[in-house]
Amino acid sequence: MAYEKELDAAKKAASLAARLCQKVQKALLQSDVQSKSDKSPVTVADYGSQAVVSLVLERELNSEPFSLVAEEDSADLRKDGSQDILERITKLVNDTLATEDMLKAIDSSTSFAAPTLSTDDLLRAIDCGTSEGGPTGRHWVLDPIDGTKGFLRGDQYAVALGLLEEGKVVLGVLACPNLPLASIAGNNNNKSSSSDEIGCLFFATIGSGTYMQPLDSKSDPVKVQVSSVENPEEASFFESFEGAHSLHDLSSSIANKLGVKAPPVRIDSQAKYGALSRGDGAIYLRFPHKGYREKIWDHVAGAIVVTEAGGIVTDAAGKPLDFSKGKYLDLDTGIIVTNEKLMPLLLKAVRESIADQEKPSPL
């Protein structure tokens, strides 16, 4: 398989980061939440997850030049009064890596030495994620907790990790700790699982399809496909849980024009891309408020997970997403995702709904 070494490293990094996040979510304390300048909550798990991914990728791919475009930097953790939280994150990361190294040592009957990262090592690992990306070379792209508000609510979130090569997405991994293996929308055409198990790992490499496996077990991965629904009346659609992330009124108008009968499934994070890739729903609509600039880490991993499962991901004008311009996605109005059969109908409904909204209201 192409990118086999990189995929193994990415799966390990995202799974370990998700394990750290699960541990923190179970014991979420008020003091774990800091406030960033844009008011979105940043958690101990956010920083810890980014450090784990950075350290694991560096360790597994140590012979390669390493560029990581990621959401967080260590600025807030270097401020006065942050020492306690910094030490907590360092301990969490050490404990997470120690568990993995110990299991590996047991499997291979070798000696085990616990990792002893200092707080400075941790800050350096977090700041490995300050690359700007761009159209040349290789860039890993990470959202350490995509769906922070879902994480804080005990709901859906994802560790989302992708790889860009010359500006194109070639690999994506989504670790979704709270997403059931079974369908969340009732019309899954993959029949990939009837279990009550929670926690999914989705992964895709270019030209090789998309696979899903349980996050916490060694079960064989199953190949997944997007919904084959052709009649929009039978389609269900996903949108962001947070109204701030998507214009729910516009999505509702589009759904009405298509004749969609099912109510929207609103969940946080790129778990939506994962669920869509296995056919849980047929459409994903994301229309942020004016002035909002999409960041590449919110879509890189999810986009390839859906496209390799047979889906199409475009902006509202039907153009492919361009991840070669650095940290931001400058696109037309929003992002739409569906299967090949529904895309022409969806684009028409999107155009009409946007035109309706732009009409001057009668006096």
Catalytic sites, residue numbers: 46, 148
Rg of the chain (C-alpha set): 20
Whether the Cβ atoms of residue 58 and residue 188 lie closer than 8 Å to each other? no
User: What's the length of the chain?
Assistant: 363
Q: Which pair of structure tokens corresponds to residue 112?
A: 């085990």
In angstroms, the CA 141 to CA 136 distance is 14
Q: Nearest to residue 338, comparing CAs of 228, 187, 191, 246?
A: 228
Q: Is 76 annotated as a binding residue?
A: no
Q: How would you class 25 by CB atoms within 10 Å of its CB: exposed for 0-12, middle for 13-18, buried for 19 or more?
A: buried
- Angle CA 205–207–210, to nearest 5: 50
Other CB atoms within 10 Å distance of the CB of residue 257: 18
Count of alpha carbons within 13 angstroms of residue 339, beta-carbon side: 23
Backbone dihedral angles phi then psi of residue 214, each to the nearest 5 degrees: -60, 140
Dihedral (Cα; 247, 173, 134, 77), 10-degree rounding: 80
Q: Is 145 annotated as a binding residue?
A: yes
Q: Is 73 annotated as a binding residue?
A: no
Whether the Cβ atoms of residue 167 and residue 322 lie closer than 8 Å to each other? yes
Q: Is 143 annotated as a binding residue?
A: yes
Other CB atoms within 10 Å distance of the CB of residue 263: 10
Tell me the binding residues. 71, 143, 145-146, 298
Tell me the binding residues for Mg(2+). 71, 143, 145-146, 298
